[in-house]
Amino acid sequence: MTLLLVGDVGGTKTLLRLVEMPTGETSTTASQQKNLYEALYTSQEYPDLVPMVREFLQAAASLLGNSPTPTKACFAIAGPVVGHTSVLTNLAWSLTTERLEQELNIAHVSLINDFAAVGYGLLSLTPEDILTLQPGRPQSTAPIAVIGAGTGLGEGFLVRLLDDYHVYATEGGHADFAPRTDMEFELLQYFHQHYHLDRVSVERVVSGQGIVTIYQFLCDRAQDLDRDRLSAASEHSTNLGANLTKKDRHLSAAEISQAALEKSNPICQQTMELFIEAYGAEAGNLALKLLPYGGLYLAGGIAAKILPLIKEGDRFLNAFKQKGRMSSLLERIPVHIVKNPQVGLQGAAVCASRL
């Protein structure tokens, strides 16, 4: 058996896991991965990844009754990885594979972008891990695309070469937000005016923080319409804005989405409608660039939690396919939602097994 060390390293939290798998096998299915021990750490409490891993291995030794000696390790990093180096965006950590191999005494260490790990994780999913929104017309040799809104917006893709897939991360979430409707143009102006931004990336809208900002925009808009009483068509918004309290204006993304699921707050419902349409449109933009007839997968921490809203009225798919003369192409692309929250860690194990 081969012992792997895998991790999901973020600016706030880091999750580490020991995984055992048959020697000589590539851990492309979850059933091949035997999880021995895992622990969650607060990243900012450590000056570097090395002391955290050492503490993790000591704790694992106490539980397992022997000192684990992983021979391969893969760490998924929430930020860009250039060559074999990563400087974390929200942590004063500078990581290199060579230093980690030496200081942790692990023969092979890999650093990959966290969304590259999600890409590898797609190779380990079972049918129970996904929900299909659009079956499309799958082609086994075509690229696969993955997009996921969570704390930020990740995008990546897989390309099949012979009998294997190569995984590539991108920074597509930082491309420009492209408004399509009058409301989205108003939202863009809101970003410019309230946050003094020269440009607005799509991640500003399609992310957890994006949900909060859309909600605040709609609260402000409702109150403005209430004051101005522009027309009879504004009466609905007038009612929305009239009784907003200070507490109402400071809801979290989870509270907003939950209220939308419960249909208990009209502004929260409208927020999630705008969010889902922007999400679908960006997924369609990614699909146009890759033509991923192998499938487009929605990962990240949000999609699986708001499944009823995504499916409701085909709002996501309609925005996804609304690409003018190219709409017929997007109807052929399979679209799936990843329900497994551990897809990134499973992907890190797939990557480690290939080292």
Strands (E) across 127-282 are located at 130-134, 144-149, 153-161, 164-169
Task: Point out the annotated binding site for ATP.
Answer: 7-12
pTM for the model stands at 0.88
- Quick one: which of 4, 12, 18, 98 has its CA closest to 50? 98
pLDDT value for 31: 60
Identify whether the C-beta of residue 208 lies closer than 8 Å to the C-beta of residue 306: no
Q: Mean per-residue pLDDT for 342-347? A: 92
pLDDT value for 30: 55
Indicate whether 138 pLDDT > 80: yes
Radius of gyration of the chain (CA): 22
pLDDT value for 162: 86
DSSP of 34-99, one letter per residue?
A: EEEEEEEEEGGGSSSHHHHHHHHHHHHHHHHSS----SEEEEEESS--BTTEEE-TTSS-EEEHHH
pLDDT tens, position by position, 26-84: 555 556 788 999 999 999 999 999 999 999 999 999 999 899 999 999 999 988 889 89
Q: Mean per-residue pLDDT for 139-145? A: 95
- Binned at pLDDT 50, 70 and 90, residue 246 comes out as low
pLDDT tens, position by position, 213-236: 999 999 999 887 766 654 444 444
Sheet with 108-113, strands from edge to edge, namely 34-42, 13-21, 2-9, 72-77, 108-113
pLDDT tens, position by position, 159-185: 999 888 999 989 899 999 999 999 999
Q: What is the number of other CB atoms lying within 10 angstroms of the CB of residue 35?
A: 15
> Residue 314: exposed, middle, or buried by beta-carbon count in 10 A (0-12, 13-18, 19+)?
middle
- Tokens of residue 119, six digits: 């890409």
- Quick one: which of 133, 147, 149, 146 has its CA closest to 272? 149
pLDDT value for 227: 65
Alpha-carbon span 59 to 56, nearest angstrom: 5
Task: Point out the annotated binding site.
Answer: 7-12
- Tokens of residue 87, six digits: 């400087």
- Binned at pLDDT 50, 70 and 90, residue 240 comes out as low
pLDDT tens, position by position, 253-290: 999 999 999 999 999 999 999 999 999 999 999 999 99
Alpha-carbon span 28 to 40, nearest angstrom: 24
> What number of H helices and E strands is found in the chain?
12, 13
237 contacts: CB under 8 Å, gap ≥ 6: 221, 222, 225, 226
